[in-house]
Amino acid sequence: MRRCEYCLALEAFSPGGYCIEHVLPVAAGGDSDPENLAFACAGCNAHKSDKTAAVDPVTRRSFRLFHPRRDRWARHFAWSADTFHVDGITGIGRASVLALKLNRPALVNLRRLLLREGLHPPVP
Ligand SMILES: [Zn+2]
């Protein structure tokens, strides 16, 4: 089953459409080379928009956002103890959690339901 490469939500259980998005936005000079494309849910795509960086709330420094082609998800993110929230474990991870709102209420609710069905948490 296909998942958003940012929040890892399953396409099959998400009512919003998914898209192929530009990791480095076209507005920032990104091209359509496969190295710059990612599969994203509508929420992550909308919140990411043309952002390329965000502030890490812990260090208050600006970090580039997570890059699905170049970064490993588990290097920058981990599931909370109850697995309903994505925790950033690096500056890039924390900045990306905030910028893309990876713990939107609907995502948390979906994770709760999918846990009951044995479909969450995914193994990144
Ligand atoms: Zn997503």
In a domain, 60, yes or no: yes
pLDDT (tens digit per residue) in 28-62: 999 999 999 999 999 999 999 999 999 999 999 99
Distance 107 CA to ligand 1 centre (A): 8
Question: Tens digits of per-residue pLDDT, 83-92?
Answer: 999 999 999 9
Centre of ligand 1 to C-alpha 47, Å, is 9
Q: Is the pLDDT of residue 124 over 70?
A: no
Identify the domain containing residue 40 by its residue range. Answer: 11-116
Cα of 61 from ligand 1 centre, angstroms: 24
User: Could you give the CA distance from residue 52 to residue 63 in angstroms, rounded to a whole number?
Assistant: 9
Residue type present at position 54: A
* DSSP state string for 3-64: B-TTT--BGGG-SS-EEEEESS-GGGT----GGGEEEEEHHHHHHHTT--EEE-TTT--EEE
Residue 3 lies in a domain: no
Q: Distance from the CA of 29 to the center of ligand 1, in angstroms?
A: 23
Residue 39: strand pairing partners: 20
Structural domains in the chain (count): 1
Identify whether 5 is part of a domain.
Answer: no
